[in-house]
Amino acid sequence: MIKRIVKMSFKPENISDFIEVFKTNWNKIKNQEGCEHVELLQDELNPNIFFTYSLWQSEEHLNKYRDSELFKIVWSKTKILFNDKPEAWSLKQLEF
């Protein structure tokens, strides 16, 4: 299982546009093969900062989505709204 966190910062005037892009595509993203969960989070202290948190069955499933036409469409509409470079992490849970 891969846990993916992406941090994005937006120009204040672009926040509603980003939320609309996410809402429009959320269901399509969560229905991608291997996607177990997708959610959007907003920073409490800085409302310009958002995170997506997603769970993928494998790195291969995540990469297949990242190579998909859907990702290209969503990313092209999202990246023009940024006010800073996005950051992304793929994480695995450690078992004890």
Q: Report the number of distinct structural domains present in the chain.
A: 1
Q: Torsions phi, psi of 89, nearest 5?
A: -135, 135
3-state helix, strand, coil in the chain (%, to 5): 40, 30, 30
- 13 Cβ contact list (under 8 Å, min separation 6): none
Flag whether 96 is in a domain.
no
**Dist. CA 10–CA 74, nearest whole Å:** 15
Question: Above pLDDT 90, what percent of the chain?
Answer: 96
Flag whether 70 is in a domain.
yes
Stretch 81-89: mean pLDDT, rounded?
A: 97
We report the CATH number of the domain holding residue 51 as 3.30.70.100
Flag whether 26 is in a domain.
yes
Q: For residue 38, what are the domain limits? A: 2-91
Flag whether 76 is in a domain.
yes
Q: Torsions phi, psi of 77, nearest 5?
A: -80, -25
The pair of structure tokens assigned to 96 is 């004890």
pTM of the entire predicted model: 0.92
